[in-house]
Amino acid sequence: MTNTKRISLLGIFFIMLLALGITNHVIMIPILLQTAGRDAWFGVLMSMVLHIAWVYIIYFIMKQTNQQPIFPWFKERFGSVLTWIFIIVTTVYFFLMALVMLRETTTWVRVSYLPQTPTSVVSIVIILLCIYVANKGIRSIAIISGILIPFVWILGHFVAVVNLQHKDYSLLTPLFVDGYKPMLKSMAIGLGGFMEIIILIFIQQHMSRKISYLSIVILSVLLGGLTIGPLMGAIANFGPTIASQSRYPAYEQWMLVTITKYFTHVDFLALYQWMSGALIRISLFLFIISGSIPFKKPKRRLLFLLLLGALLSGVSLIPSVDHELEMYVLGKYSSVSLIFLTTFTLVIALSTTIKVKTKGD
């Protein structure tokens, strides 16, 4: 089956950079700017340094579990009851993250490019595509990521270089005008985003070889670069005050792109970047959730994905939920992510150190 085929470390990198990079662009940067303003970029830089040390815990977990499938490994050691609690907690987390991404994507697409198209149509099209990709398995997700990411990378550097004419990097200083508190808050926000690297634990069995600590560090640094680069670009382009008032500052930089008077209004290219990340992120989360249940027949797995997708799309379209998600993203997203993912990672790490008696003991 396609789902059992293993993928290279490069494929894992492609998946992670798209799945986590989109969150850093869409969600983290606006919160960072609103919280810390000019000091945000320095806070992210400091959080990158701390995260390099933190990812050793991820490496430790993967080493202790021998990169086995985490759910069967957990069941073998702790039994069905604790495993189901573990599965429920994991499922709720990934469902919520997929819900936030779906909501953010459908809202942005409708407001920016398809104002006359019902939100339900945009949502259903996106979720059906994600279900199709998730059902094909992790190898398909990796292949699609490998196809998409070169163009995402090229477009990202394109907008950065072309906008150099508008950038004033002196706007990045002076730092700490309002003390160190804003910077410390931005560190917490940055770490909340970087902690999502825990996803590696849930796809570790699909890697073609054992992953090293250095590889995880490199991935962490690359993810940090996906945050600090557009963040500094937003401040240099718009200034800290105007940038903090923008809902999607990383993508609004596309509106500044001009190459002579004949080459303007290319902000539609941002749609490719955003949709690439959203596709991989939601598909990956659907794949992980469906992987927590050992389906014996592929049709049952597909039916589960369809029901899960219908639930995602349906919940995201409820007006009250839509409003609550907006408030959650702008308010508590980063702090909840940091607290939950830190605790969750430490609990899993602790569980790997507990000696469990086997039947033969």
Please report, in tens digits, the pLDDT of each residue of the chain (361 residues total): 334 478 999 999 999 999 998 988 888 888 899 998 899 999 999 999 999 999 999 999 999 999 999 999 998 888 889 999 999 999 999 999 999 999 989 988 888 888 888 989 999 999 999 999 999 999 999 999 999 999 999 998 888 888 888 888 999 988 998 889 999 999 999 998 899 999 999 999 999 899 999 999 999 999 999 999 999 999 999 998 998 888 888 888 888 887 777 776 777 888 899 999 999 999 999 999 998 888 878 889 999 999 999 999 999 888 888 778 877 777 778 888 889 999 999 999 999 998 765 544 4
Of the candidates 182, 154, 162, the one whose C-alpha atom is nearest the C-alpha of residue 237 is 162
Write b or e for each residue in 71-90: b if 16 or more Cβ atoms lie within 10 A of its Cβ, otherwise e: bebbbebeeeeebeebbeeb
For the chain, give the secondary structure using H, E and C.
CHHHCCECHHHHHHHHHHHHHHHHHHHHHHHHHHHHHHHHHHHHHHHHHHHHHHHHHHHHHHHHCCCCCHHHHHHHHHHHHHHHHHHHHHHHHHHHHHHHHHHHHHHHHHHHCCCCCCHHHHHHHHHHHHHHHHHHCHHHHHHHHHHHHHHHHHHHHHHHHHHHHHCCHHHHCCCCCCCCHHHHHHHHHHHHHHHHHHHHHHCHHHECCCCCHHHHHHHHHHHHHHHHHHHHHHHHHHCHHHHHCCCCHHHHHHHHCCECCCECCCCCHHHHHHHHHHHHHHHHHHHHHHHCCCCCCHHHHHHHHHHHHHHHHHHHCCHHHHHHHHHHHHHCHHHHHHHHHHHHHHHHHHHHHCCCCCCCC
Of the candidates 340, 315, 287, the one whose C-alpha atom is nearest the C-alpha of residue 106 is 315
- Per-residue pLDDT at 165: 85
287 within 8 A of 141, measured Cβ to Cβ: yes
Residue located via tokens 């990169």: 67
- Per-residue pLDDT at 111: 83
Q: How far apart are the first and last CA of the chain?
A: 36
**Half-sphere CA count of 128, side-chain side, radius 13 A:** 6
97: Cβ contacts below 8 Å, ≥ 6 apart: 281, 285
Dig out the tokens for 307 from the structure: 């029901």
Residues in the chain: 361
90: Cβ contacts below 8 Å, ≥ 6 apart: 202, 288, 289, 292
- Per-residue pLDDT at 318: 87
- Per-residue pLDDT at 140: 94
Give the Cα separation of 236 and 38 in Å (integer). Answer: 10
* pTM beyond 0.75, yes or no: yes
Dig out the tokens for 212 from the structure: 């090293």
Domains and CATH numbers, the chain: 2-353 (1.20.1740.10)
- Per-residue pLDDT at 357: 55
Give the Cα separation of 28 and 47 in Å (integer). Answer: 13
- Per-residue pLDDT at 217: 95
119 within 8 A of 106, measured Cβ to Cβ: yes
Alpha-carbon distances, residue 94 vs 67, 120, 290 (angstroms): 20, 21, 11
